[in-house]
Amino acid sequence: MRLRIRHKDGMATLTSLTEQSTLLELHNEIAREVKTPAARLELKTGYPPKPLLIDSSSAQSSLQSLGIKDGEQIMTSERPDGSVSSFEFGSTSAASEPTVTSSAPTAQAATATSHAAAFQPPKAVGGLAFGSRPLIPLSGANSAFQAKPVAGAHPFGGLSTVDSSYKPPTPAPAPVSNLTAGPSGSVGSVRVRDQGILVVREVEDDNSCLFNAVAYTLDPSMKSNIAALRHIIAKAIEANPDDYSDAVLGRPRKDYCDWIRRENSWGGAIELAIFSEHYNIEIDSIDVSTNRVDRFGEGKFTQRALLMYSGIHYDAVALTPGLDIPEECDQTQFDIATSEEIINAGIQLSIKLKQAHKYTDVANFTLRCSVCQAGLKGEKDAQQHAQQTMHTSFEEYK
């Protein structure tokens, strides 16, 4: 049985319990993992989150009888003001150490990560790498890297993510019985019955939006270390010259690596393909202007994450129990086998955003180069200007 434990320092995964394990055993296992006395912990599960209250009558109840299933997420918090539970946990807290599914990098990934030491990548503690959402095991630059760049991808990322000749299949319509509009006036949300509300989490519009969105959904420990994410891209390109040739990148590989490390360089399809392989997860980018889903790493992994692409900007997509619930309770990674409804909700969300004109027409929008103040029109002009001048900082104006 695999349980995801969300706590103040990030996420952990417990695999030592079974459906017949008791609520008391669950409390003690979690207490040991998060290094907090069991009597100080409060546990919640479900959407919206409901307390898992422990007392003399419920302590020996099986997890199965409490409706806790494989893959369940348990949210933890500490009781305020030093208060403790009235239940006496006793000496049972000295049970054997739980088995924890490590989220730390593999040996190969650890070697690759060491090259980025100057960027202070996330530290593994007790076999786990912590963030506010799960950190997926890395594949590492030394592993058999198989990311394939998307044909026709914009060499500078950001502006164009797929081959314009690509004709994706029409997405299956979302089940009407399960999807409803979000709360009144909420353009950026769609309610998914019995699961929560799918929302857009806007990230900073600072030329690092893709990296900020990836940090939010895949690796929150990188939120304040975007340079390390850029370093991951450069190292993957350096390690895979066949997949990322000068022709694919649109410039010499060394120049591209130097460029992507700069804080004002946009990311796009190339970067999403690399992050998919690096974090071992399918990344689904939903294009607001076309409502198309571009899947990076399709068919390779068991988990998926969603991003929303508005033409020149990426935002994160998350499932929340409610619009008034803190973002720390967001779910940003989903089991592929059971999350088609989430994809359908994402498409419905992009339709709402398009109807509200929350996207940019990349063929006709107007840009100004932040370096030389040159006026530009559309994606083509921006690409040509960047290639000719190496200027990569643009701002939209009307």
Per-residue pLDDT at 154 exceeds 70 = no
For the stretch 53-104, pLDDT in tens is 888 888 899 998 988 887 777 878 887 666 667 787 764 433 333 333 333 3
Listing DSSP states for 223-262 in one string gives TT-HHHHHHHHHHHHHH-TTTS-HHHHTS-HHHHHHHHTS
Smallest CA-to-CA distance from 392 within 367, 364, 366, 370 is with 370
**Could you tell me if residue 207 is left (phi over 0), alpha (psi between -120 and 50 degrees) or otherwise beta?**
left
**Residue from 245, 194, 214, 192 nearest 308 by CA:** 214
187 or 19, greater pLDDT: 19
Question: Tens of pLDDT along 272-290?
Answer: 999 999 999 999 999 998 8
Q: How high is the pLDDT of residue 188?
A: 75
Report which secondary-structure segment, H or E, holds 197.
strand 196-201
Looking at 62-66, 167-171, 326-330, which range is the least confident one? 167-171
- Phi, then psi, of 253 in degrees rounded to 5: -55, -40
Q: Which domains does the chain have, with CATH numbers?
A: 3-94 (3.10.20.90), 107-355 (3.90.70.80), 366-396 (no CATH)
- pLDDT of residue 394 exceeding 70: no
Which of the residue ranges 76-90, 177-191, 203-217 would you say has the lowest mean pLDDT?
A: 177-191
pLDDT at 86: 76
pLDDT at 82: 63
Query: What mean pLDDT is predicted for residues 258-269?
Result: 92
Contact 44, 74 (CB under 8 A): yes
Share of the chain above pLDDT 70, in %: 68
Active site amino acids: 206, 209, 313, 391
Contacts of 63 (CB under 8 A, 6+ apart): 1, 17, 18, 19, 20, 21, 22, 23, 26
Would you state the pLDDT for residue 72? 78
pLDDT at site 168: 37
SS3 of residue 329 by DSSP: helix
Note whether 310 and 360 are within 8 A (CB): yes
| pLDDT of 271 over the 70 cut | yes
Q: Is the pLDDT of residue 31 over 80?
A: yes
Confidence of residue 189 (pLDDT cuts 50, 70, 90): confident
Q: Indicate the pairing of strand 196-201 with strand 10-14.
A: unpaired
User: What's the confidence (pLDDT) of residue 185?
Assistant: 38
Between vectors from CA 151 to CA 270 and to CA 163, what angle results, nearest 5°? 105
Q: What's the mean pLDDT when you consider all of the chain? A: 74
Q: What is the pTM of this model?
A: 0.54
Q: What angle do CA 359, 349, 365 make, to 5 degrees?
A: 5
Q: What is the pLDDT of residue 52?
A: 84
What is the phi/psi pair of residue 64, to 5°?
-60, -45
pLDDT at 354 over 80: yes
Decide which of 140 and 268 is more confident.
268
